[in-house]
Amino acid sequence: MTKRAARLFFFVSTLLSALIFTVLTIDSHRQFPKLTNAAAIDERVVAGKHVWHRENCTNCHTLLGEGAYYAPDLTKITQQRGAPYLREFLKDPSRFYSEQRDGRLMPTLALSDQDIDNVIAFLAWVGRIDTQGWPPRPILVRGSAVPGVPAMLGVPPPQAASRDPVELGRAAYNATPPGCAACHSIVPGVNIVGPTLAGISATAAARIKSPDYRGKARDAEGYIRESILDPNAHVLTGPTYAAGGRSLMPADYGQSLKPEQIDQIVAYLLTLR
């Protein structure tokens, strides 16, 4: 190659590279509004962001991987825990976490109900940003601090090719959404937020025979299905399970999950011992 040809190749290639880079940059910017749900940013979301900054939440928590890495990432927290739980949690975090038990402490911020609603709206908006599956599983403080739970955190990736409903249910259980594993452990005696689901089959069979049972299920499978679709059918009393007689479990899985996904999760839960 002559010197002149080499120079020509260099200039043309550089120009072409710059052109491709510019077009891709413009294309990325064109997609931002859709990827970030810019149309869903309303006054509550903006006010919630102000609360987030005012209270220096990012000094401990991360959003989209940005922050202090001291407390859990909150990118998908509204999908993992649901607004009722977050509302109760923000009113009194000490009810859910203690420094002695969990090794870390969320301060009580004394937020007004309006501030709490706004910050939940902000977190819900963040949760709808397309992060292409990140984080792949809930990032917990309490879960990682409890002996036996690392087995839950090191969940093997779902096998997409599997047709086994139990395997598909296990994958759905550990995915976000629905984020079942963010609140329910499968380790006996370990209650993260909701009750442990270890041995839920036997527990459910005993529970529906109890005189206190308020639901309509006839068997263990029906009880688990009812608990997913209508958490308020029978509300368990526990320090972090309910508030004002209402379960803190999200009540919209009937809409957000497909019927076959519910079948698979039920099939998986029935196998837990």
Binding residues for other proteins, rule: CB under 8 A, are 1-3, 6-7, 9-10, 12-14, 16-17, 20-21, 24, 27
Q: Kindly give the residue spans of alpha helices, DSSP state H, lying in the chain.
A: 3-35, 43-54, 77-81, 83-91, 99-102, 113-127, 142-145, 150-153, 165-174, 200-207, 220-229, 253-256, 259-270
Classify residue 254 as exposed, middle or buried by CB count within 10 Å of its CB (0-12, 13-18, 19+): exposed
Q: Which is nearer to other proteins, 35 or 145 (CB)?
A: 35
Q: How many CB atoms lie within 10 A of CB 198?
A: 18
Q: Which is nearer to other proteins, 27 or 212 (CB)?
A: 27
Copy the structure tokens of residue 193. Answer: 């937020």
Q: What angle do CA 159, 80, 214 make, to 5 degrees?
A: 100
Q: Residue 28 Cβ, how far from other proteins at the closest point, in Å?
A: 9
Q: Residue 133 Cβ, how far from other proteins at the closest point, in Å?
A: 16
Q: Which is nearer to other proteins, 3 or 214 (CB)?
A: 3
Q: Which is nearer to other proteins, 2 or 210 (CB)?
A: 2
Based on its alpha-carbon atoms, the radius of gyration of the chain, rounded to whole angstroms, reads 23
Q: Which is nearer to other proteins, 13 or 159 (CB)?
A: 13
Q: Which is nearer to other proteins, 17 or 256 (CB)?
A: 17
CA distance 170 to 164: 10
CA 193 to chain centre: 13
Q: Residue 32 Cβ, how far from other proteins at the closest point, in Å?
A: 15
Q: Residue 25 Cβ, how far from other proteins at the closest point, in Å?
A: 10
Q: Do 101 and 93 form a contact (C-beta atoms < 8 A)?
A: no
Q: Residue 3 Cβ, how far from other proteins at the closest point, in Å?
A: 5
Q: Residue 82 Cβ, how far from other proteins at the closest point, in Å?
A: 34
